[in-house]
């Protein structure tokens, strides 16, 4: 399991080659979680302050659902599932849009507590999430 690691790797193919050499082809399940290019603060809201926060030199790559699949297949891995997952809710998004910064707000939390679960589900169903999870195995 690699949680927010792959986006930091300058040469992901070389890294995956090493990982592939360490795995058993028969029973190794690989789970990779990365930030998504379709993060709603970018793809829906176009939040400029978030763009400056998000695209930093320590992230040479940001992956989409399709690019992570292509990368993994090109490096000898077979996909089982790709999951759109939204980590941050409406409270965080409103804070970015109103205050140009991460975090939450007690007033947003109180007003939108019932709305948040539906908001997360809608983003995941629409494929506009802050996280992509790739699940697969070595071929």
Is residue 134, in this structure, part of any structural domain at all? yes
List pLDDT tens digits, range 111-125: 999 999 999 999 999
Q: What pLDDT was estimated at residue 24?
A: 74
CA distance 77 to 68: 11
Q: What is the pLDDT of residues 81-106, one digit of tens each?
A: 999 999 999 999 999 999 999 988 88
Residue 100 domain-assigned?
no
Q: What pLDDT is attached to residue 27?
A: 74
Which SS3 state, helix, strand or coil, does residue 51 take?
Answer: helix
Assigned domain for 91 exists? no
- 104 within a domain of the structure (yes/no): no
> How many structural domains is the chain composed of?
1
pLDDT > 90: percent of the chain = 89
Give residues with Cβ within 8 angstroms of 59, minimum separation 6: 7, 8, 35
- Both tokens of residue 115? 């709305």
The answer to the question of residue 113 being in a domain is no
Q: Is residue 63 part of a domain?
A: yes
pLDDT of residue 135: 98
Domain annotation covers residue 132: yes
Average pLDDT rounded to a whole number, residues 42-58: 94
Please answer whether residues 128 and 37 qualify as being in contact, where contact means their C-beta atoms are separated by less than 8 angstroms.
no
Position 49 pLDDT exceeds 80: yes
Nearest to 16 by CA among 94, 65, 70: 70
In whole angstroms, what is the distance from residue 72 CA to residue 79 CA?
A: 8
- The residue segments making up the domain with residue 49 are 2-86+127-138
**Residue carrying the six token digits 């603060």:** 41
Residue 39 confidence class, pLDDT cut points 50, 70, 90 = very high
- Give domain status of residue 31, yes or no: yes
* Distance, C-alpha 16 to centroid of its chain: 18
Q: Residue 72 has what pLDDT?
A: 98
Contact criterion met (CB below 8 Å) for 5 and 59: no
- What is the model's pLDDT at position 28? 85
132: three-class secondary structure by DSSP: strand
Can you give the CATH number for the domain in which 52 is found? 3.40.50.150
The per-residue pLDDT for 104 is 82
**pTM for this prediction:** 0.93
Q: What is the predicted pLDDT for the residue at 99? A: 94
């Amino acid at each position: 399991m690699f949680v927010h690691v792959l986006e930091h790797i300058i040469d992901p193919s070389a890294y995956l080659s090493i990982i592939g050499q360490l795995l058993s082809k028969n029973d190794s399940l690989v789970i990779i979680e990365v930030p998504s290019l379709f993060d709603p603060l970018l793809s829906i809201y176009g939040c400029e302050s978030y763009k400056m926060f998000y695209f930093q030199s320590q992230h040479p790559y940001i992956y989409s659902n399709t690019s992570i699949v292509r990368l993994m297949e090109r490096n000898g891995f077979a996909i089982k599932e790709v999951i759109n997952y939204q980590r941050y809710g409406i409270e965080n998004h409103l804070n970015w849009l109103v205050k140009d910064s991460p975090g939450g707000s007690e007033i947003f939390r109180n007003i939108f507590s019932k709305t948040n679960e539906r908001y997360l589900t809608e983003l995941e169903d629409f494929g506009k999430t802050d996280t992509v999870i790739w699940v697969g195995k070595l071929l």
